[in-house]
Amino acid sequence: MTYQECLDFLYGQLPMFQRDGSSAFKKDLNNTLALCRALGEPQTKFRSIHIAGTNGKGSVCHMIAAVLQAEGYKVGLYTSPHYYDFRERIKINGRFISKQAVLGFVKRMQATIQKISPSFFELTVAMAFDYFHKQKVDFAIIETGLGGRLDSTNVVSPLLSIITNISLDHQSLLGETIALIAVEKAGIIKSGIPAVIGERSAETEPVFENRASEVGAALTYAEDHVRLEVVEWGKDDIKLEVEYLPDGQRRKLEVGLTGRYQIANIRTVLTSLDILCDTHNLCVSADALGYGLKMVVRSTHLLGRWQKLREKPDVIADSGHNLAGLAVAMDQLKGIESDQLRIVFGVSKDKSYDPMLALLPKNAKYYWCAADLPRSLSPDALKSAGEAHRLQGHIYASVSEAIASAIREAGPDDLIYVGGSSFVVGEVLALSL
């Protein structure tokens, strides 16, 4: 088996949510537990931090990893989905898992795979745990896939559980209300393990409080712990004044991200690191904190978060792919001046995409497209839905044709935004613009 044949097997033979949607979602932990038993319980052999939430969890994972790396630790990072390279899912200190390690794992696990028929996600979680154990990481930062309670990653016993925020997404799997979705996310809160909540709301607070009380977990809300004041929105970073509310300490920080939605994520990261210091004596120096947050993109290979891909015309790609995520991206887009706004847009057909379309600006020119996945909504259907919201544009047979056309038609002072789906963003990131 070659590496490409290995990928073909992973993508083609295993149930995969990215391709198949809800039919690939396993509503229990049995397969993951069986995989871990076959591997010698690797999830118990490294220290972990577990992150769930509707939006922002990937950014929080990368920022925590970057700070711990800057402190000199060997840090594993498991995130999903990937944009264009499967190995993005499993990294150590920003380096992708090797092709040899992926191939070797799949070969070793062939008999177990045939026996229990895991999903793509279940197998890749087990691969990450096995790799982190074998590579002797000091810490592993683990991002949930869907939900939390029944997510395959929820077999770890972490130092800290983090829930970034709750909004409507994947309702058919997680529940039709904010409170029901919060119940699923709250499933990562475990007995005696402290938990940080990134954003509170009237609907979610009782859910988190009840769960924490049931299992005996100390709960901290980030907004009660850290106050942030933006000093300057830079071209390549955010300059902040930070106040730690428990003791009144203040400091300045520069964070190498530009999405305005990152403010809540930064607050969550700072709170989480402070709680780790209090509960596990895991203190990071001021230098490591500053360097890690400033260099987060480079040191962890963070992709797709308000990422500028080129200039003249500017092309910005952002992975906000649900109503809440797209709303904050559109707010930031409104503040950018351009001669003409052009939007390359595609969505998954199992999303509630009509409310998303209602957020999009009427004065933009649209390039309707679909990622190369069965879950994608067809450009024809997307164009028709867009026209109901007075959004005008043309359909394209592929994401690459859509972005190429947008760049070709754009003047140097136009702005091109790519979004609607992580998979559309991934196909653009794979191109050399």
| Residue 247 shares a structural domain with residue 382 | no
CATH number assigned to the domain comprising residue 89: 3.40.1190.10
CATH number assigned to the domain comprising residue 372: 3.90.190.20
| Residue 312 shares a structural domain with residue 293 | no
Give the torsion sign (CA, 37, 39, 40, 46).
negative
User: pTM for the full model?
Assistant: 0.94
- DSSP string covering 44-97, please? GSSEEEEEE-SSSHHHHHHHHHHHHHHTT--EEEE-S--SS-GGGGEEETTEEP
Res 258: pLDDT: 93
The count of domains in the chain is 2
| Residue 291 shares a structural domain with residue 362 | no
Res 175: pLDDT: 75
Task: Tell me the residue range of the domain where 352 lies.
Answer: 307-429
Res 12: pLDDT: 83
Spell out the per-residue pLDDT of the chain, length 433, in tens: 899 999 999 988 786 655 555 555 667 899 999 999 999 999 999 999 999 999 999 999 999 999 999 999 999 999 999 999 999 999 999 999 999 999 999 999 999 999 999 999 999 999 999 999 999 999 999 999 988 999 999 999 999 999 999 987 666 567 779 999 999 999 999 999 999 999 999 999 999 999 999 999 999 999 999 999 999 998 899 999 999 999 999 999 999 999 999 999 999 999 999 999 999 988 899 999 999 999 999 999 999 999 999 999 999 999 988 898 999 999 999 999 999 999 999 999 888 899 999 999 999 999 999 999 988 999 999 999 999 999 999 999 999 999 999 999 999 999 999 999 999 999 999 998 8
As a three-state string, the secondary structure of 198-256 is CCCCCCCHHHHHHHHHHHCCCEEEHHHHEEEEEEEECCCCEEEEEEECCCCCEEEEEEC
Residue of 107, 139, 110, 145 whose CA lies nearest to 125: 145
Q: How many Cβ atoms sit within 10 Å of the Cβ of residue 343?
A: 24
| Residue 260 shares a structural domain with residue 214 | yes
Res 171: pLDDT: 64
Domain boundary among 280, 300, 320: 300
| Residue 286 shares a structural domain with residue 358 | no
| Residue 193 shares a structural domain with residue 253 | yes
Q: How many residues does the chain have?
A: 433
Res 318: pLDDT: 96
Residue 393, helix vs strand vs coil: strand
| Residue 105 shares a structural domain with residue 170 | yes
Res 168: pLDDT: 74
| Residue 12 shares a structural domain with residue 36 | yes
| Residue 215 shares a structural domain with residue 267 | yes
Domain boundary among 244, 265, 300: 300
Residue of 320, 272, 275 whose CA lies nearest to 292: 272
Sheet architecture: strand order including 95-96 = 95-96, 90-92, 75-78, 139-143, 47-52, 160-163, 195-197, 219-221
Res 213: pLDDT: 97
| Residue 235 shares a structural domain with residue 252 | yes
Encoded amino acid at 39, one letter: L
Q: How many Cβ atoms sit within 10 Å of the Cβ of residue 10?
A: 18
| Residue 282 shares a structural domain with residue 405 | no
Res 306: pLDDT: 95
Domain boundary among 255, 274, 300: 300
| Residue 203 shares a structural domain with residue 63 | yes
